[in-house]
Amino acid sequence: MSDNVLVWLRRDLRLFDHAALHHALISGHRVICVFIFDRDILDTLPRTDRRVAFIWESVLQLKQELTALGADLVVRHGSAVKTIVALADEFGALAVYANRDTEPYAIRRDTEVEDQLVSEGRALHLFKDQVIFECDEVLNLSRQMYKVFTPYKNAWLARLSEQALASYPIRPHLHNLKQCAATALPTLPELGFEQVNVDYLQPGMDGGEALFNDFCSRIHQYRKARDFPAVRGVSYLSVHLRFGTVSIRELARTAHQMGGEGADTWLSELIWREFYQQLLWHRPELVTHTFKPEYDAIPFPNDSAYFTAWCAGQTGFPIVDAAMRQLNQTGFMHNRLRMIAASFLVKDLLVDWRWGEQYFALQLNDFDLASNNGGWQWAASTGCDAQPYFRIFNPTTQSLRFDLEGNFIRRYCPELAHLDNRSIHAPPAMPAYPAPLVDHGTQRLAALALFKAAGN
Ligand code: FAD
The reply to whether ligand 1 has any atom less than 6 angstroms from the CB of 239 is no
Would 115 be classed as within a structural domain? yes
Dist. CA 374 → ligand 1 center (Å): 10
Q: List strands edge to edge, sheet with 30-38.
A: 73-78, 30-38, 4-9, 95-99, 123-127
> Which amino acid residue places its CA nearest to atom 14 of ligand 1?
269
Dist. CA 447 → ligand 1 center (Å): 26
DSSP string, 208-258: HHHHHHHHHTTGGGHHHHTT-TTS--S---HHHHHHTSS-HHHHHHHHHHH
Residues 335 and 316 in one domain: yes
Domain carrying residue 148: 131-165+202-282
Residues 122 and 230 in one domain: no
Would 92 be classed as within a structural domain? yes
Which atom belonging to ligand 1 lies closest to the Cα atom of 215? 3
Domains of the chain: total: 3
The reply to whether ligand 1 has any atom less than 6 angstroms from the CB of 345 is no
Dist. CA 368 → ligand 1 center (Å): 9
Q: How many whole angstroms separate alpha carbon 163 and alpha carbon 7?
A: 23
pLDDT of 47 reads 96
Kindly list the distances between the CA atom of residue 93 and the CA atoms of 122, 145, 262, in Å, as whole numbers in the listed order.
Answer: 7, 38, 46
Residues 51 and 37 in one domain: yes
* Distance between first and last Cα of the chain: 64
Mean pLDDT, consecutive 10-residue segments, the chain of 456 residues? 93 98 98 97 96 98 98 98 98 98 97 98 98 98 96 98 98 97 96 95 97 98 98 98 98 98 98 98 97 96 98 98 98 98 98 98 98 98 93 97 98 98 98 98 98 92
Residues 17 and 105 in one domain: yes
SS3 78: strand
The reply to whether ligand 1 has any atom less than 6 angstroms from the CB of 212 is no
- As a dihedral over the C-alpha atoms of residue 244, residue 45, residue 85, residue 99, rounded to 10 degrees, the angle is 20
Length of the chain: 456
The reply to whether ligand 1 has any atom less than 6 angstroms from the CB of 18 is no
pLDDT of 2 reads 82
Residue from 51, 213, 273, 351 whose mutation best tests the ligand 1 pocket (most atoms within 8 A of CB)? 273
* 320-329 burial code (b ≥16 CB/10 A, e <16): bbbbbbbbee
pLDDT of 431 reads 97
Judge contact between 128 and 99, C-beta under 8 A.
yes
Residues 326 and 376 in one domain: yes
> Which amino acid residue places its CA nearest to atom 44 of ligand 1?
335
The reply to whether ligand 1 has any atom less than 6 angstroms from the CB of 240 is no
Element (H, E) at 77: strand 73-78
Residues 409 and 306 in one domain: yes
Dist. CA 9 → ligand 1 center (Å): 23
Would 369 be classed as within a structural domain? yes
Nearest Cα residue to 447 out of 396, 398, 391: 391
Q: What's the per-residue H, E or C state across 249-267?
A: HHHHHHHHHHCHHHHHHHH
The reply to whether ligand 1 has any atom less than 6 angstroms from the CB of 24 is no
Q: How many whole angstroms separate alpha carbon 348 and alpha carbon 394?
A: 9
The reply to whether ligand 1 has any atom less than 6 angstroms from the CB of 332 is no
The reply to whether ligand 1 has any atom less than 6 angstroms from the CB of 339 is yes
CATH number assigned to the domain comprising residue 48:
3.40.50.620
CATH number assigned to the domain comprising residue 135:
1.25.40.80
pLDDT of 188 reads 97
> What interhelical angle do 395-402 and 318-330 show, nearest 10?
70
Would 174 be classed as within a structural domain? no
CA 141 to chain centre: 30
The reply to whether ligand 1 has any atom less than 6 angstroms from the CB of 98 is no
Would 185 be classed as within a structural domain? no
The reply to whether ligand 1 has any atom less than 6 angstroms from the CB of 331 is no
Residues 53 and 150 in one domain: no
Residues 273 and 400 in one domain: no
Dist. CA 167 → ligand 1 center (Å): 24
Domain boundary (282, 309, 326) is at 282
The two most distant CA atoms of the chain are separated, in Å, by: 74
The reply to whether ligand 1 has any atom less than 6 angstroms from the CB of 335 is yes
Residues 99 and 150 in one domain: no
CATH number assigned to the domain comprising residue 448:
1.10.579.10
Residues 439 and 297 in one domain: yes
Residues 118 and 158 in one domain: no
Kindly list the distances between the CA atom of residue 142 and the CA atoms of 139, 156, 354, in Å, as whole numbers in the listed order.
Answer: 8, 16, 32
Q: How many whole angstroms separate alpha carbon 186 and alpha carbon 56?
A: 9
Would 173 be classed as within a structural domain? no
The reply to whether ligand 1 has any atom less than 6 angstroms from the CB of 375 is yes
Dist. CA 371 → ligand 1 center (Å): 7
Residues 321 and 277 in one domain: no
This model's pTM is above 0.85: yes
pLDDT of 456 reads 76
Dist. CA 307 → ligand 1 center (Å): 23
The reply to whether ligand 1 has any atom less than 6 angstroms from the CB of 371 is yes
Would 188 be classed as within a structural domain? no
Domain boundary (260, 282, 304) is at 282
Q: What are the backbone angles phi and psi of residue 37, rounded to the nearest 5°?
A: -75, 110
> Which amino acid residue places its CA nearest to atom 43 of ligand 1?
335
Domain boundary (107, 130, 153) is at 130
Would 220 be classed as within a structural domain? yes
> What interhelical angle do 353-363 and 318-330 show, nearest 10?
40
